[in-house]
């Protein structure tokens, strides 16, 4: 294929070298005359293992060239990769000026170029906020190309996952490939580009693809911040942090795994809230600043309130509602700090006619701290717990599935169910 890459910075130049090494013809476009001259002279504009040799090989084979203007380079191109910068604006948002400028240039080149047998795939790799393709990029193309937009351009969002120092390795062995298209279906050109790369592939809509880098990079930042907060506590308490880390990372069932990372219910129960509070106290007592840990309970409270809003959204005042699942975990009767108890309390305070079905919970058998917590939050619990027969036969305005308890109910067809665990 003939591929034109816009922006020869870290991402764009690395991609140019790797793509050319696979036998494709690559033209790099960059506004910097010096950068273009250096590339044509065989000098890499970045320091990264492997790219210098790949550049030399690509130039010798006639597979790499570079220019400062689009000219006629898109006339024979199969794919345009947009890798221009999206630096931070003063308010923290991305400055989308380069994206807008390049998009318009590509659209104008397509309008002025020769007839095409198939649309030019224009794939964006720059990090952009969700909605950018639909709300900024596509309107730019449409304003220039009008009704010919779909015939001339296939817009794609394809985030990159390159790390400095291992960018070439990461290009050929990425953790995943994410391709965002208008309908979430595969792009033939992107399939060809990635044909030799073995990695999980996700074909999604634009917004899911656009959001991927934000989710990934912020999670990496969370991990680093959390590890360093724990490290500071260890330092202040004379604990060997390396041993704590060794123990922590050995648990690949829960700690280093996909567990607890699925958006859904808030955390609760007898362990997590209690131990987070205790760690907060340990941090304060040892003189350790732990802003990330200190934010966890506030974040959880915010999520519980948002789940209440989601559960009650659109319900008429006083509507009859069934909450399926009261305990923190299904098939248990531990109600201590269960987010579902908090949800039930808010529904009652809002005036809804609430009933609760949880076959594992018997109000008369609650004891100790479990009993005290439950009755302090839901003093009327014995009156609102209902049997399975009543839950299955009552015409509720909505069934709120707080956990998988709802799976044990044979509800009438058409009964509206709102699942809080499937955001």
Are 348 and 354 in contact by the 8 Å Cβ rule? The answer is yes
**CA–CA gap between residue 195 and residue 203 (Å, rounded):** 15
Distance CA 375, CA 363 (A): 9
Q: In what order do the strands lie in the sheet with 120-124?
A: 64-67, 25-29, 2-6, 79-82, 120-124, 153-157, 177-181, 201-205
End-to-end CA distance of the chain: give it in Å, rounded. Answer: 41
- Cα separation of 155 and 157, whole Å? 7
Question: Is 18 marked active-site?
Answer: no
Pick from 162, 201, 156: nearest CA to 178: 201
| Alpha-carbon span 161 to 170, nearest angstrom | 7
Rounded CA-CA distance 297/273 in Å is 7
Say how far apart CA 79 and CA 155 lie, in whole Å.
10
Q: Between the CA of residue 335 and those of 241, 293, 309, 331, 342, what are the distances in Å?
A: 35, 24, 21, 11, 10
Tell me what percent of the chain is helix, strand and coil, each rounded to the nearest 5. 45, 15, 40
Identify how many contiguous H helices and E strands the chain contains and give both numbers: 17, 12
Length of the chain: 423
Q: Which of 332, 285, 283, 328 is nearest to 304 (CA)?
A: 328
Cα(70)–Cα(83) distance, integer angstroms: 15
d(CA 321, CA 210): 37
Which residue in the list 17, 83, 234, 271 is annotated as catalytic?
271
Q: Which residues are catalytic?
A: 271
């Amino acid at each position: 294929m003939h591929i034109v890459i816009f922006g020869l910075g870290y991402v764009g130049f690395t991609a140019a070298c790797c793509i050319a090494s696979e036998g494709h013809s690559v033209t790099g476009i960059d506004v910097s005359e010096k950068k273009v001259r250096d590339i044509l002279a065989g000098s890499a504009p970045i320091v990264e293992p492997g790219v210098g040799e790949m550049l030399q090989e690509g130039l010798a084979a006639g597979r790499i060239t570079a220019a400062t203007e689009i000219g006629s380079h898109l006339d024979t191109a199969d794919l345009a990769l947009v890798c221009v910068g999206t630096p931070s604006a003063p308010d923290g948002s991305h400055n989308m000026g380069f994206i807008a400028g390049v998009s318009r240039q590509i659209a104008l080149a397509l309008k002025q170029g020769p007839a095409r047998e198939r649309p030019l795939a224009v794939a964006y790799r720059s990090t952009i906020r969700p909605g950018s393709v639909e709300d900024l990029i596509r309107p730019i193309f449409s304003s220039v190309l009008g009704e010919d937009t779909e015939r001339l351009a296939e817009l794609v969002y394809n985030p990159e996952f390159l790390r400095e120092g291992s960018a070439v390795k990461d290009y050929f062995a990425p953790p995943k490939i994410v391709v965002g298209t208008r309908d979430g279906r595969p792009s033939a050109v992107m399939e060809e580009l990635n044909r030799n790369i073995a990695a999980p592939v996700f074909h999604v809509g634009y917004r899911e693809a656009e959001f991927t880098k934000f989710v990934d990079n912020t999670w990496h930042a969370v991990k680093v911040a959390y590890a360093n907060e724990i490290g500071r506590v260890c330092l202040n308490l004379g604990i060997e942090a390396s041993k704590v880390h060794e123990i922590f990372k050995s648990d690949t069932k829960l700690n280093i795994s996909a567990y607890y990372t699925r958006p859904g219910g808030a955390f609760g129960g007898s362990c997590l809230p209690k131990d987070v509070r205790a760690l907060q106290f340990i941090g304060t007592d040892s003189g350790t600043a732990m802003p990330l840990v200190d934010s966890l309970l506030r974040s959880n409270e915010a999520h519980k309130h948002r789940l209440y809003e989601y559960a009650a959204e659109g319900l008429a005042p006083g509507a009859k509602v069934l909450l399926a699942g009261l305990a923190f975990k299904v098939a248990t009767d531990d109600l201590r700090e269960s987010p579902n108890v908090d949800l039930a309390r808010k529904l009652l305070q809002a005036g809804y006619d609430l009933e609760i079905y949880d076959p594992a919970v018997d109000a008369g058998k609650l004891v100790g701290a479990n009993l005290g917590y439950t009755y302090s939050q839901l003093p009327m619990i014995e009156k609102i717990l209902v049997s399975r027969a009543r839950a299955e036969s009552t015409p509720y305005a909505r069934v709120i599935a707080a956990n998988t308890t709802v799976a044990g109910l044979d509800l009438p067809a058409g009964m509206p169910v709102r699942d809080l665990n499937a955001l």
